[in-house]
Amino acid sequence: MVRILDYNGQEAERTVTVAGIRSLKNSGTRLSQVTAGSAEEAHAAEAAGIEMVVCMAKAVTAVRQGSTKLFVTAAIDFDGAVTPDDLLGAAFEALTNGADAVITARSMECVQRLADDDVPVMGHLGFVPKKSTLYGGVRAVGKTAAEAQDLWAEFRQLEEAGAFAVECELIPAPLMAEINRRTALATISLGSGPDADVVFLFMSDICGEGERKPRHARAYADLAGLYNRIMAERVRALTEFRADIASGSFPDDDEVSTLDEAELQTFLATLDES
């Protein structure tokens, strides 16, 4: 753990810092990152030894309730943050709420606006889901020499804009390895192979919560199956409850309270007198 002062000037401990992430370049050491959207998920990530989580900006407070130690990155491209100044305001709010960094897939101008105010900012290159129509659908980005050249140019622009790290999504693994050796940015691989400073997967994919598993993911559990069994058990219990009501078998004598017969008769007598 590293002792820091957070954005509010309060003493805290973190699994890693921005400087620590930067220092990973070419060290052979890789960190892990997962998504988290709740205190429960953040607590599980910390307990498992995960170093970094990413969440929506609005979830930072909840995530911090689950872990005071994880390095938390807030996604700030949502909730009406349109202009560079809007993004800056959203970034400051996220940092105040406990985030250690922010991530944006917006323009280099937006990244630079944040970096100019010393906001630790990550970019997002390769496949960016909300821009999928520009790529013709969900696919790896950088599979041709021309596309790889364009991608490398974006890495250099992002570096010049002042980002300290970049999420690299669905970039072919051999290309990612070459870029990682050449960029000063800390690289976070999501479906881009092992040659990065941080390896990232969605918690829902790791835990097997979805009906469809992305190609780049590995499921280590089957929570979807567990949830289905829980739902089936819930429906079974409710069905039996409804049937017992219809048959008159619920509630029985063990499930109600009673009173002394004399007390009941006294009460009834007062009713008759009124």
Catalytic center residues: 169
Let me know: does 100 contact 72? Beta carbons within 8 Å: yes
* ω into 251 cis (within 30 of 0): yes
Which of these, 61, 2, 10, 59, lies nearest to 31 by C-alpha position?
2
